[in-house]
């Protein structure tokens, strides 16, 4: 009996053209290119214009992914958007993109798991496909973190950027998404959060005065969590897929900090040639970081049919997520 799994048949990305460099930030806050580079690995990030919403970035990445897959928007059964910066609390950003795409037959909803959101989204899409409920699913990670960043807070404003990535998933009888490892530790919810704008702290003079509509982060706690979880989640998902670290051809980690990425690679005993990093160009784009990186890894010839690829992320929640893919694009 053949096993029905999900596989990625199309990829797309989009980043805004405006670039904000570390040198630019030196003029805005008390920081330096050396400080940012040595502690994070980031050199620049892309920033959306004030009138551009997350749906616009996601739409452009989605169109590219659909073209890459050979599907039309009308063939989609579901659109799933992972984001912490939706256009608005409701309707779902996925519904806004659905209308602009012309995907009239697709269900649509948003998913929020912080920077782990794209892999969470892949797991949901894979479950729908494996069950036989849907055939063609579009998963998008899109973020405009610049709009929830306090540009006077030097500890956070140097970290984040804007962008979007997307993947089309379809059924396969060989390879594809082999296993997932998802998790959360809610005791760390207060280490990376956006306090204002929800039902706890709705918009009023106090929340605006206290800058509650900007993200807050306890950097040291998040760093320690990420170093521990990124490596462990990678090992755990490989075990679920009956694979070993030496089977891995490429690790595509969440692009948040080069020291965190290095620690994850060390846990897997992977050399630099098997770890994809584009963090210096984009900074942390949250749920968009892994699909953007996956697109660029493929463009660089690092993603080929038969390869074993591990995606791993951590994010607000605190959450973590990983998946193993046996790449088989075009070989369903």
Three-class HEC string of 146-180: HHHCCCCCCCCCCCECEEEEEEEEEEECCCEEEEE
Strand 308-315, strand 319-326: pairing: antiparallel
- Single out the residue in 174, 202, 223 at which a domain terminates: 174
Question: Are 155 and 284 members of one domain?
Answer: no
Q: How distant is the alpha carbon of residue 116 from its chain centre? A: 6
In a shared domain, residues 165 and 235: no
Is 193 found in the same domain as 141? no
197 and 302 housed in the same domain = yes
**Which one from 115, 136, 157, 328 is the annotated catalytic residue?**
115
Provide the phi-psi class of 330: left if phi over 0, else alpha when psi is between -120 and 50, else beta: left
**Torsion over CA: 10, 297, 183, 194 (sign):** negative
Q: What is the 8-class DSSP label of residue 2?
A: P
Active-site option among 22, 136, 257, 284: 284
Q: Classify each residue of 85-108 as buried b or exposed e, where b means 16 or more C-beta atoms within 10 Å of its C-beta.
A: bbbeeeebbbbbbbeebebeebbb
Lowest mean pLDDT among 105-119, 202-216, 303-317: 202-216
Q: Choose one of 174, 197, 226: the last residue of a domain.
A: 174
Shared-domain flag, residues 15 and 158: yes
- Chain-wide mean pLDDT for the chain? 96
- Is 293 domain-assigned? yes
* pLDDT at residue 43 tops 90: yes
Widest Cα–Cα separation across the chain:
63
Question: Is residue 101 predicted with pLDDT exceeding 80?
Answer: yes
- Tell me the percentage of the chain whose pLDDT exceeds 70: 98
What distance in Å separates the CA atoms of residue 82 and residue 139, rounded to the nearest whole number?
8
Mean pLDDT of 251-278: 97
| Residue 182 and residue 169 share a domain | no
Phi, psi of 217 (to 5 degrees): -150, 135
CA pair distance 288, 133, nearest whole angstrom? 26
Establish if 332 belongs to a structural domain.
Answer: no
| Per-residue confidence (pLDDT) for residue 330, from 0 to 100 | 66
Identify whether residues 167 and 218 lie together within a single domain: no
* Residue 331 within a domain: no
- Is residue 290 domain-shared with residue 157, that is, in the same domain? no
Please indicate, yes or no, whether residues 189 and 310 belong to a single structural domain of this protein.
yes
* In a shared domain, residues 37 and 69: yes
Active site residue 284: yes
Confidence of residue 3 (pLDDT cuts 50, 70, 90): confident
Domain that holds residue 126: 5-174
132 and 37 together in one domain: yes
Judge contact between 115 and 314, C-beta under 8 A: yes
Q: Tell me the Cα Rg of the chain.
A: 19
- Give dist(CA 55, CA 50) in Å, integer: 13
CA-based end-to-end distance of the chain: 16
Give yes or no for residue 267 having a pLDDT over 70: yes
Question: Active site includes 278?
Answer: no
| CATH number of the domain encompassing residue 273 | 3.40.47.10
Domain-located, residue 193: yes
Q: Is residue 87 part of a domain?
A: yes
The domain boundary residue, chosen from 111, 140, 174: 174
Q: Tell me which of 331 and 31 has the higher pLDDT.
A: 31
**Which is catalytic among the residues 46, 136, 157, 254?**
254
Burial 179-209 (b: 16+ CB within 10 A, else e): bbbbbbeeebeebbbbbbeeeeeeeeeebee
Residue 131 and residue 87 share a domain: yes
Identify which of 179, 190, 177 has the alpha carbon closest to the alpha carbon of residue 225. 190
Helix (H) or strand (E) holding 61: helix 54-69
| Total number of domains constituting the chain | 2
Contact 16, 162 (CB under 8 A): yes
Contact 270, 246 (CB under 8 A): no
What's the mean pLDDT in 209-214?
Answer: 94
Which of 96-105, 199-208, 257-266, 299-308 is least confident? Answer: 199-208
Split at pLDDT 50, 70, 90, the class of 266 is very high
């Amino acid at each position: 009996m053949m096993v029905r799994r999900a596989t990625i048949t199309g990829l797309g990305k989009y980043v805004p053209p405006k670039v904000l460099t570390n040198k630019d930030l030196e003029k805005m806050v008390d920081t330096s290119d050396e400080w940012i580079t040595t502690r994070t690995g980031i050199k620049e990030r892309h920033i959306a214009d004030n009138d551009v919403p997350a749906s616009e970035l996601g739409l452009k990445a989605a169109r590219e992914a659909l073209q890459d897959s050979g599907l039309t928007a009308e063939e989609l059964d579901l659109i799933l958007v992972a984001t912490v910066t939706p256009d608005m609390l409701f309707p779902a950003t996925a519904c806004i993109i659905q209308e602009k795409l012309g995907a009239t037959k697709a269900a649509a909803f948003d998913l929020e798991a912080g920077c782990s959101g794209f892999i969470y989204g892949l797991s949901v899409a894979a479950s729908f496909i494996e069950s036989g409920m849907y055939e063609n699913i579009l998963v998008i990670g899109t973020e405009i973190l610049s709009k929830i960043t306090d540009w006077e807070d030097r500890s956070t404003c140097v970290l984040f950027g804007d962008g979007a990535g997307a993947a089309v998933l379809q059924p396969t009888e060989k390879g594809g998404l082999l296993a997932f490892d998802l998790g959360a530790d809610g005791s760390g919810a207060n280490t990376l959060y956006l306090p204002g704008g929800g039902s706890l702290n709705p918009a009023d003079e106090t929340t605006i005065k206290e800058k509650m509509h900007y993200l807050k982060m306890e950097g040291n706690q998040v760093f320690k969590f990420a170093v521990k979880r990124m490596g462990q989640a990678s090992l755990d998902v490989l075990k679920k897929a009956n694979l070993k670290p030496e089977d891995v051809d490429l690790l595509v980690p969440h692009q948040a900090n080069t020291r965190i990425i290095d620690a994850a690679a060390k846990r897997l005993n992977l050399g630099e040639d098997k770890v994809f990093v584009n963090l210096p160009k984009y900074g942390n784009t949250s749920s968009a970081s892994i699909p953007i990186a996956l697109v660029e890894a493929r463009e660089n010839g690092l993603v080929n049919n038969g390869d074993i690829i591990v995606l791993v992320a951590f994010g607000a929640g605190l959450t973590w997520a990983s998946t193993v893919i046996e790449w088989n694009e075009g070989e369903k």
